[in-house]
Amino acid sequence: MPHALTRADGYRALTKEAETVREAFFLQWYHLGRRSLLDVLSSETSLYSDRIGEIGSRFDAYGATISAYAGAGQLTTWLAGTRAGTGMTTPDGARRSTARFAYQR
């Protein structure tokens, strides 16, 4: 479970770098004509690939966590958030009552 989240964090860092590269390539292509359109499209592909990788890794981690709780017979308790004193946490380490599973930029 933690490995998928670590991988997702790595993809997030790659996404930020890819956004910077994409912006630079676009500006060089648009204003200076120094990059080919193929370079711009390649950087777009890299950016979206990294975003998909991050989302997929987070989904895998959350799915593994849910499976683990279900296998231990604790899924409904974890979803209800009633075991605050037991150390039961969400995949990202937050308490269940404050967890948000939506994609965050």
Write the pLDDT tens digit of every residue in 14-39: 899 999 999 998 998 888 888 888 98
CA-to-CA distance for 51 and 16, rounded, in angstroms? 10
Is 101 exposed, middle or buried (CB count within 10 Å of its CB: 0-12, 13-18, 19+)?
Answer: exposed
What is residue 34's DSSP assignment?
-
3-state secondary structure of 55: helix
pLDDT for 87:
53
Task: Kindly report whether the global pTM for this prediction surpasses the value 0.85.
Answer: no
CA distances from 45 to 15, 31, 39, 72, 100 (A): 11, 21, 10, 41, 28
Write the pLDDT tens digit of every residue in 43-97: 999 999 999 999 999 999 989 888 988 899 888 888 887 545 555 555 555 544 4
Cβ contact 1:60 at 8 Å:
no
